[in-house]
Amino acid sequence: MKTYHIITIGCQMNKSDSERLAGRLEQNGYKKTDNKYQADLIVVNTCGVRQSAEDRIYGLIPGIKKANQKAKIVLTGCLAARQDVKNRLKDYVDEWLPISEIFNFQFSIFKQTLIFNFQANAKCKNDYLKIIPKYESEFSAFVPIGNGCNNFCSYCVVPYARGREVYRPVEDILAEVKELVKKNYKEIILIAQNVNSYKSQIPNPNNQTNSKSQIKNSKNKIIDFSDLLKMVNGIQGDFWLRFMTSHPKDMSDKLIETMVDCEKVCHQVHLPAQAGDDEVLASMNRKYKIADYVELVGKIRSILNDQIPITNNQTNSKFQVPNSKQSLWKQPVSITTDLIVGFPTETKRRFANTAKLMRQIKFDMAYIAKYSARPETAAAKMQDNVSTVEKKRREQILMKILRKTALENNKKYLGKIMKVLVEGESKSEEWAGRTATNKNVKFPSASWRTNDKNNLIGKFVNVKIIKAQDFGLAGELIS
Ligand code: SF4
């Protein structure tokens, strides 16, 4: 039996794509191996969002090819269409596979046994989302609701690498989630580059939602992301529902209200700010101002902080299992973000505005990236005039603020009893999991371990929080 090994670099979308690729390979008789030096087929799913992610493959791929000369190497993901990458790696890569072509590609791999001559078929673009994936986790799953992006933020390569937005029919998404819930999955994460832009036709009993006539006749029957969320929330079962990523310009009041109404939807919002200065945001083509962003976060907090249902008998509450003294605690919604430091137009004064935004919002988490120019993007034509040293300095300043605000936020959990989804064991022999607000929680495992080492993994438990750190909580199991 032929073996495969997939190396995934980058975001959740890439991870999800790799699960679909693995599903296709296994359906066609390939077997996974963890050893890349023994695999017959190695697929590298690349990321082109930062130079650092791109640089990883230049050492990795030649190294694998030298150590495992019999293997066929396929490169997919964001860098698969870049001519300069092709030139640089032409001696090591056997095939360049646009991710949306997995549907076509599988026939050439499997029916012609590693002879690569797949026929690109425009009709199949994004049909790869129909492939039944092989999920990495047995209790938490990414469910893609679409692919691509129309926003063209000036620094971002995604609209070039993945193309324009295409969304999955609602019935495909519901069918995938139902299947997962049937298998006892506890966490469903709906993903797309911009989930808030989701649009689909109403489900059709005849399952022909993509037909031209139906699209023509479907005026006023469009489902948006809030509607989709409600429909997924309505699926029977005990699971958490998350989504990412939301563009601030598209985060509607309707969606915020829907989050309140849907008891399975976790009160965690990932809302990339990217910068805290209006002029930088304008040159990033982000289409909102800082005042809009601050107002939006205020609205999210005022609506989602205050309407958390807490009663003494809600032992399955998604947020908190209150004890008698703390039953009125209102758990804050968790706000996380992405920020770029050293964007070409970011002067020291403008950077100070980003630091100010961080102090003001008090993010629970921020993913801070140092700017690097990406080929084809509008920002690549600007002068990358902030030095590497200065970018590092700015990153450190933001990290310091983040540590402080995250710790402040985490201290609010002290003494509370939280519902936690257990994901595994940490290195220090503790169970590790997350709250609905995506806070990492550790708690001792020794006294709870039975013969079945995995007895808590993938299960909801209640943990009393006794320690707060900047990026995590520690507690003790109470049930
Ligand atoms: S919204 Fe902007 S940053 Fe996000 S994928 Fe689209 S272009 Fe890139």
Q: How far is the CA of 460 from the centre of ligand 1 (A)?
A: 34
One CATH from 3.30.750.210, 2.102.10.10, 1.10.940.10, 3.40.50.1100 for 137-266: 3.30.750.210
Residues 354-395: tens digit of each pLDDT: 999 999 999 999 999 999 999 989 999 999 999 999 999 999
Q: How far is the CA of 150 from the centre of ligand 1 (A)?
A: 8
Q: How far is the CA of 396 from the centre of ligand 1 (A)?
A: 24
CA-nearest residue for atom 2, ligand 1, is: 153
| Residues 298, 303, 306: CA angle, nearest 5 degrees | 110
Q: How far is the CA of 65 from the centre of ligand 1 (A)?
A: 33
Q: What is the structure's pLDDT at 311?
A: 41
Given a cut of 90, whether residue 64 has pLDDT beyond it is: yes
Residues 94-145: tens digit of each pLDDT: 888 887 777 666 544 544 444 444 444 444 455 788 889 999 999 999 999 9
Residue 116 · residue 169 · CB < 8 Å: no
Q: What is the structure's pLDDT at 27?
A: 81
Over residues 169-194, the mean pLDDT reads 96
Q: Which atom of ligand 1 is nearest to the CA of 162?
A: 5
Residue 320: strand pairing partners: 418
| Residues 452, 453, 456: CA angle, nearest 5 degrees | 90
Residue with tokens 């943990």: 463
Q: How far is the CA of 388 from the centre of ligand 1 (A)?
A: 24
Given a cut of 90, whether residue 202 has pLDDT beyond it is: no
Residues 280-330: tens digit of each pLDDT: 999 999 999 999 999 999 999 998 875 444 443 344 444 444 444 444 566
Q: What is the structure's pLDDT at 203?
A: 63
Write out the two tokens for 285. 């083509």
Q: What is the structure's pLDDT at 308?
A: 44
Name the residue with higher pLDDT: 479 or 81: 81
What band does 445 get if pLDDT is binned at 50, 70 and 90?
confident
Name the residue with higher pLDDT: 332 or 172: 172
Beta strands 199-201 and 146-147 are unpaired
Domain ranges of the chain: 3-124, 137-266, 268-412, 417-477
Q: What is the structure's pLDDT at 454?
A: 56
Cα distances (Å, whole numbers) of residue 309 to 313, 328, 415, 443: 11, 9, 19, 26
Q: What is the structure's pLDDT at 326?
A: 43
Residue 432: strand pairing partners: 424, 442
Residues 224-258: tens digit of each pLDDT: 999 999 999 999 999 999 999 999 999 999 999 99
CATH fourth-level superfamily of 3-124:
Methylthiotransferase, N-terminal domain (3.40.50.12160)
CATH class of 417-477: mainly beta
Amino acid identity, position 72: K
Which residues sit with their C-beta closer than 6 Å to ligand 1?
149, 151-153, 156, 158-159, 193-194, 247
Q: Which atom of ligand 1 is nearest to the CA of 286?
A: 2
- Rounded Cα distance between 204 and 272, Å, is 35
Over residues 52-65, the mean pLDDT reads 94
One CATH from 3.30.1330.60, 3.40.630.30, 1.10.3720.10, 3.30.750.200 for 268-412: 3.30.750.200
Domains 137-266 and 268-412 fall in the same CATH topology: yes
Instruction: For ligand 1, pick from 50, 194, 196 the residue to mutate: most ligand atoms within 8 Å of CB.
Output: 194
- Rounded Cα distance between 387 and 293, Å, is 28
For the chain, what is the mean pLDDT? 86
3-state per-residue secondary structure call for 378-421: HHHHCCCCCCHHHHHHHHHHHHHHHHHHHHHHHHCCCCCEEEEE
What band does 20 get if pLDDT is binned at 50, 70 and 90?
very high
CA-nearest residue for atom 1, ligand 1, is: 151
Q: Which atom of ligand 1 is nearest to the CA of 156?
A: 8
Residue with tokens 């600007």: 382
